[in-house]
Amino acid sequence: MSNDILIARPRGRLQGSLTVPGDKSISHRSVMLGALAEGVTEVRDCLMGEDVRATMGAFRAMGVTIDELEDGRLLRIHGVGLNGLKAPTEVLDCGNSGTSMRLLCGIVAGAGLPATLSGDASLCRRPMRRVTEPLGLMGARIETAAQGTPPLHIQGGRALHGIDYVLPMASAQVKSALLLAGLFAAGETCVTEPAITRDHSERMLRGFGVEVAQSDSRVCIRGGQALRATSIVVPADISSAAFFLVGAALQGRETLTVRAVGVNPTRTGVLDILRLMGAKLSLDNPREIGGEPVADITVHPGELHGAEIPADLVPLAIDEFPALFVAAACARGRTVVTGAEELRHKESDRIETMARGLRALGVTVETLPDGMVIEGCQRLGAGTIEAHGDHRIAMAFAMASLRAEADITIHGASAIATSFPDFVALARTAGLLI
């Protein structure tokens, strides 16, 4: 059978303990800041999925040496400093990674390098004006396709200046792109968010010796600061852990622990939402790894019920909604999600893609411009799902098999390799029949 098709069978049982791969957001930023630092940065437990490899490939194309040691468990990045990047002689291929493209756009524009950023068919449908327009206000000149999509053509030799920018929509990627551009810009760059988003960039910049000023929803950075090489240990990715946490919660009869998960408070919306839906979770052995809070997360037996998700939790769980929609489909009662329009601009339109998949399994779903209303049911039917090349859609429906009456066939599953190359093997070890 093609590795693009998964068959998830009913009657699996998740239990025991497991460890998921390193955090994707932190892995991207480790490579980027390590490349811009002076000296050699070592990164342990970096996620070696296709998305992060796209970031690594881009920096190698700009003259940065990155050694992969210990079968990829350790990266050694030979930083070139803020002024050491070289103009690439080829298109920077970001693959399927929106994080790579948006953050690289800020760095390449800031460095004043001529470059073209492109990616696969899915990435080339994603909106980029939310990044290119504020970078234009800083002095960059970036051309997009007619619809504001990639490829992005960045003109070289443009000196940037700081701006004070209010984000029209909460986005950690846009915030990070502007802050990274601000490293190169004259003066100070400030970004104000309409809602709090993940703060990995701010934390890691401080870890590399950069002064970052923060007050409530406003963050500022002064241009021209040198980054000092450091050592980083990447915690387990809560977005990857979410599939197993949701799976354990919706089956409701076993205990499952996911070890050493990053629990940065700007990323724990998935835990708050699961608790709101009745899940019994505990966080044990709290500690700090590389400036990021970490804990072991255990799901205890219990029953899920529907809930109206508060708007302030939505940005804190934006990547976890495919899994949470499956949880809602298996919960008792109605779940309402609004304020999540960002989901329409991910690897797929996650509102429509999830709605079609849930309907194929017999779930009553109403889509909204910025969310979804889901009527929970005790059991899901059999069905064939089209993941549209979206890794999180494929993994979410694999977990849905824990409450299905018969097989769920998932097309487009090869995209899982972008963020979680060992998902199928780990899921089988934990008790999923896949």
Q: State the catalytic residues.
A: 319
By the 8 A CB rule, do 97 and 54 touch?
A: yes
The four Cα atoms 348, 200, 114, 138 give a dihedral, to 10 degrees, of 100
By the 8 A CB rule, do 297 and 258 touch?
A: yes
- Cα of 212 vs its chain's centroid, Å: 23
The candidate with the shortest Cα–Cα distance to 85, out of 103, 68, 64, 67, is: 64
Instruction: Tell me the two tokens of residue 155.
Output: 């003109």
Report the alpha-carbon distance of residue 397 to residue 391 in Å, rounded. Answer: 10
The four Cα atoms 15, 17, 21, 25 give a dihedral, to 10 degrees, of 90
Q: One-letter amino acid identity for 293?
A: P
Q: How are the residues of the chain apportioned to helix, strand and coil, as percentages rounded to the nearest 5?
A: 35, 25, 35
Report the alpha-carbon distance of residue 254 to residue 225 in Å, rounded. Answer: 50
| Beta-carbon count within 10 A of 304 CB | 24
Report the alpha-carbon distance of residue 193 to residue 170 in Å, rounded. Answer: 6
Instruction: Tell me the two tokens of residue 42.
Output: 């070592």
